[in-house]
Amino acid sequence: KKTTGWIFIIIGCLCTHTTNTHFSSNNFYVQMAAAALPVLETSGGSIIVVSSVAGKLASPFVALYTATKFAMNDFFGALQNELALKKSNVSVSILILGLIDTESAMNKIRGYAMMTTYPASETALSIIKAGVTRQREAYYPWFHYFTCLINNIFPFMKGILLSGLSAEYTVCTKTSA
C-alpha cells in the first residue's frame, strides 16, 4: 500500500568540543536516515541534510567541525547516488550553509573569523525550498556555490588568501532587507 504525502527528515549536526560527540552525533543521523528509508520509499519522501560550507572548504580553527561536515556531505552524497541507481523516489537534499546569525554560531567563532552572518529566518526558508523542490545540493547564501567551485578548481588560492590572515577578526552581521 502506497502512502500519500511527503515525509521529510531534516538532518543537522549538533557540535560540541569533543571528538566522540562530533562523530557520535553524525552516526546517529546516518542510523536515523537508514531506519527511515523504508517509510520514505513508500511515501516518496525526502531527506534534508543541513550542512555547512565548512564541509566543502577545510577551515582553520574548526578542524573537527569541518571533518564531521565533510563526512556528512560525503555519506549523504553517496546515498544520493545509490538511490539514483536504484531509481528510488526518495530525494536527498544537501544544504550547504554559510555562517548563520545564531547565538551558538556567534559564540563559537567570536574572535576567530571576520565573516558576514546571514539571518536564520532566510536560511530556514532556503532549507524548506530546497527540500520541497528536491534539489540535490543547494547553497545559502547562493554565492557559496562559487566559493566552493573556485576552491575545487584552484585549491592553491586558499593558501594564498590565508597567508595574510590572523585570528584577530570580528564578526559582521547582515540584517534582512
The residues, any chain, with a CB within 8 Å of residue 63's CB and separated by 6 or more, are: none
CA distances from 51 to 47, 70, 174 (A): 12, 9, 20
3-state secondary structure of 41: helix
Contact 31, 37 (CB under 8 A): no
One of 65, 118, 139, 140 is an active-site residue; which one? Answer: 65
Query: What is the distance between the alpha carbons of residues 147 and 93, in angstroms, rounded to a whole number?
Result: 19
Q: Angle at Cα 98 formed by Cα 137 and Cα 150, nearest 5°?
A: 70
* Terminal CA-CA length for the chain: 47
Provide the phi-psi class of 5: left if phi over 0, else alpha when psi is between -120 and 50, else beta. left
Residue 65 known to be catalytic: yes
Catalytic positions:
65
